[in-house]
Structure 1
Amino acid sequence: MGRSALVLGGGMVGVSTAWHLQQRGYDVVLVDRREPGQETSYGNAGLIQREAVEPYAFPHDLLKLAQVALRRGNDVNYRFSDLLAVAPRLVEYWWNSGPKRYGTISHGFEALIRHSLSEHDRMISASGAGDLVSHEGWTQLFRTEKGFDEGTARARHFAREFGVENRILDSATLSRAEPALIRPMTGAIYWPSPYSVKDPGALVQRYADLFIAGGGRVVHGDAKTLANLAHGWTVETSDGPVSAEQAVIALGPWASDLTGAMGYRFPLFVKRGYHRHFKWDGHLNAPMIDTDAGVALLPMERGLRVTTGAEFAQRDAPPSWKQMIGSEHLAREMLDIGEAVEATPWIGSRPCVADMLPIIGEAPAHTGLWFHFGHAHQGFTLGPATGRLCAEMMAGEAPYIDPMPYRPTRFRFDRRAFPV
């Protein structure tokens, strides 16, 4: 079979991996149950966040913990009925968010983020997707003095330690910069370096079209049918069985279904999120995220996309509309938006690891099987950067980033748990 690979998962992470493998001479088949970019990658904020040099930590502030526990804010929600199931992972998440451990984790996270724009640039240029991408950055809004003070201190830290450009705006300067805002805010931070995408799913499809134009195949199939052959891997698809020398699991929030069946017990969980589009004829100079309230306002092809913060729940639990209702109310306080475009809000899940770093590397107990998932909030941002890293390791090249922080073997495994 030579240099051949199956990539399971047609989101930003899977499509980017497939393209990078193709660039290294691999014969690649991309397998998903839907068309590329129609699951988790479709529903995000559409931001390629070069400034996101630190992952989202679990709060240690007692006041914030109390607010979360009592479900008083709109930025974080949880389902009581799922709490017992997700609590062990949240405890690990909280533990890893302690200052000493978080500092080490952030170092590994920043090593990936610093390459996010340059790796997207390669794929944007090659795919002719520049019409989908804007370079106006985004604006972080604050409602409270406490939030603004903490945010500005963090912004200065990012500028000093990582060279991330930002501009701090007081209330009056923000009002002049964004006259469409009808609610005065305490202040804001403008981050000029990130890109915004007016249709995230369409960008993934453009990358997939680039992959297809290079000779790659995209087929519909069931990743759970993945099976180990004597000299490779096979999966059942609509085109019949497809086999290859190597396989990559890039299934985002569905990765645990397959890895768990194979005997791996990674500390995986999801943060669910919601969005809805609204009719709006106004103009923003940059997308906005109100971090105090957990709501994003994002001009997109279908209208103004209003998103929620994080919901801790099991992936397939019934939707809870509490945050989306709250986000719509908050959005109407800030902008004069019209009616909703969709009858029902979109719901999706972010694939998270308890130590906040993605899992990238060869499976410890299965030769030729590679893991590439767990990007949490930043799969859309990091897909091309981590896709390159994964492809380099698979091809036996010297990796351009130290892969050690993301290795699957950072977690312990009981060999007796693996099926014979």
Structure 2
Amino acid sequence: MDFDVIVLGAGIVGVSSALHLQDRGRRVALVDRRAPGEETSFGNAGLIERSSIVPYAFPRKFATLLRYARNESTDLYWDYRALPSYVTWLARFWWESSPQRLAAAARDMLPLISQSVAEHDALIARADVASLVHAHGWVQAFRTHAALERGTATAELAAHEHGLNFTPLDAAALRAREPGLGEGFVGALHWHDPKSVSNPGALTKGYARLFEREGGTLFTGDATTVREERDGWSVETSSGRIAAREVVVALGPWSDAVFAPLGYRIPLRVKRGYHMHYRPTHTMLSQPIVDTEQGYVIAPMDGDRLRLTTGVEIARRDAPPTGIQLARVERIAKPLFGLGERVDAAPWLGMRPCTPDMRPVIGPAPRHRGLWFAFGHNHHGLTLGPVTGRLLAEMMTGAAPFTDPRPYRPARFD
């Protein structure tokens, strides 16, 4: 064998998995069609989200469903042409989002979320990328007093049960903290435990440089050429076909390109999203702000830019960009956040890999020896990349996992 492990996918999950396997003595090859951190890991809001204990669920309130049915909201846009391929997935998502099942999903995700910042911190120090990461937390802003009251009650419960730290802000305190913010929010919650990243793609690249610096090998290659050999797996790269005893599928929203031909029917779908960068016309924000009721994020990024990241677009993965959701949000966000001219020539379109039970897929494939999965992190791939890499490496090397991996096992969908 050329290597002990081939990791397919050089996003934050794949790079982190490769690093943790390498730390445990494995000879690792990291394979991607592009450079590290240039797909889903590139375009997110840059949050290491320690405070998001409860997963994003299917809405249950009739008023919310009615608003979504009109397809005029800012936080969700759906393309009717995609609905036939999503209907079964959405039905399972709705079923998994009942209060009892959602609570179970939150319990299952808690060990990963709780360890997320610590695992990032360890890699940040080793990779010397601390300049990209900021410990200011993030702000959850509200437009109505009713929403603020509900949000505060939820936050108080999370603080009590999970030891999270937040500070309530009225409108005046919010404006004092962010002088560049316009009128529109009645108050906010400042969450202190999360961290923000001013260039998520660069963070992933920094971790990848650490992987190479410590002896790892990065290849350009096509993951769909992977094939099972008599005593392992091989994949075609620009340097020729390489082989290893084990292979990890960490291809995010494209993971089905490998697992589906092998006979696995894991219900993985994408929630699409857009971002655009703007020059600020007001004072630069000091931390990301989520417009809770409109469902978008404005985050300060390197190069004196503000990144607007949209909510969810339900559309086929390969459908061309629509721009509809971004245009709706832009009209609302521009005056409030002082968004000036667009910096990017075109909006960036990204794919969030999602499972209907709101848990990632981490662990051994049930019917193929040496095949491992690490994908489906819903909206929290950046947050959960390093902690996923640790858990996967512990399982693959026979170490005691730091948490029970059964909630994330691929076989749950068999």
**Alignment TM class, shorter chain as reference:** over 0.9
Identify the residue that residue 97 of structure 1 maps to in structure 2: 97
- Equivalences, count: 412
One-letter code aligned to 1:206: G
Q: Measure the CA separation in 1 of the matches of 2:33 and 2:153.
A: 44
Query: Identity of paired residues, percent?
Result: 47
TM-superposed CA distance for 1:327, in Å, is 1.8
SS in 1 for 2:380: helix
Partners of 1:297 and 1:304 within 8 A in 2: yes
2:202 aligned with 1:202, yes or no?
A: yes
Task: Map 1:314-325 to 2 at 5 A.
Answer: 314-325=316-327
Q: Measure the CA separation in 1 of the matches of 2:75 and 2:111.
A: 27
One-letter code aligned to 1:290: D
TM superposition score normalised by structure 2: 0.98
SS in 2 for 1:383: helix
TM-superposed CA distance for 1:315, in Å, is 1.0
Identify the residue that residue 310 of structure 2 maps to in structure 1: 308
SS in 2 for 1:285: coil
Q: Measure the CA separation in 2 of the matches of 1:286 and 1:348.
A: 22
Identify the residue that residue 160 of structure 1 maps to in structure 2: 160
Deviations 1:238-295 (A, max 9, x none): 0000100100000000011211111000111111000000012522232111011112
Task: Map 1:140-151 to 2 at 5 A.
Answer: 140-151=140-151
One-letter code aligned to 2:144: T
Identify the residue that residue 226 of structure 1 maps to in structure 2: 226
Identify the residue that residue 376 of structure 2 maps to in structure 1: 374
Q: Measure the CA separation in 1 of the matches of 2:6 and 2:137.
A: 35
Identify the residue that residue 415 of structure 1 maps to in structure 2: none
SS in 1 for 2:339: coil
Identify the residue that residue 173 of structure 1 maps to in structure 2: 173
TM-superposed CA distance for 1:2, in Å, is 9.0
Q: Measure the CA separation in 2 of the matches of 1:57 and 1:339.
A: 34
SS in 2 for 1:292: coil
Q: Which moved more, 1:203-212 or 1:136-145?
A: 136-145
One-letter code aligned to 2:382: F
Identify the residue that residue 295 of structure 2 maps to in structure 1: 294
2:15 aligned with 1:15, yes or no?
A: yes
TM-superposed CA distance for 1:202, in Å, is 0.3
Q: Measure the CA separation in 1 of the matches of 2:155 and 2:196.
A: 20
Q: Measure the CA separation in 2 of the matches of 1:272 and 1:378.
A: 14
Q: Measure the CA separation in 1 of the matches of 2:205 and 2:286.
A: 26
Superposition CA RMSD, Å: 1.1
Deviations 1:316-344 (A, max 9, x none): 11211111111211221212221100121
Q: Which runs of 4+ in 1 moved over 4 A?
A: none
TM-superposed CA distance for 1:176, in Å, is 1.8
Q: Which moved more, 1:300-309 or 1:270-279?
A: 300-309
Task: Map 1:1-400 to 2 at 5 A.
Answer: 1=1, 4-280=4-280, 282-302=283-303, 303-400=305-402
In structure 2, runs of 5+ residues without a counterpart are none
One-letter code aligned to 2:211: F
Deviations 1:45-86 (A, max 9, x none): 011011011110110011111111112320111101111111
One-letter code aligned to 1:330: I
TM superposition score normalised by structure 1: 0.96
Q: Measure the CA separation in 1 of the matches of 2:198 and 2:99.
A: 36
Q: Measure the CA separation in 1 of the matches of 2:308 and 2:2.
A: 47
Partners of 1:307 and 1:327 within 8 A in 2: no
Q: Measure the CA separation in 1 of the matches of 2:33 and 2:183.
A: 43
Q: Measure the CA separation in 2 of the matches of 1:2 and 1:181.
A: 55
Q: Measure the CA separation in 1 of the matches of 2:164 and 2:375.
A: 26
Partners of 2:2 and 2:242 within 8 A in 1: no
Identify the residue that residue 418 of structure 1 maps to in structure 2: none
Identify the residue that residue 403 of structure 2 maps to in structure 1: 401
Partners of 1:175 and 1:184 within 8 A in 2: no
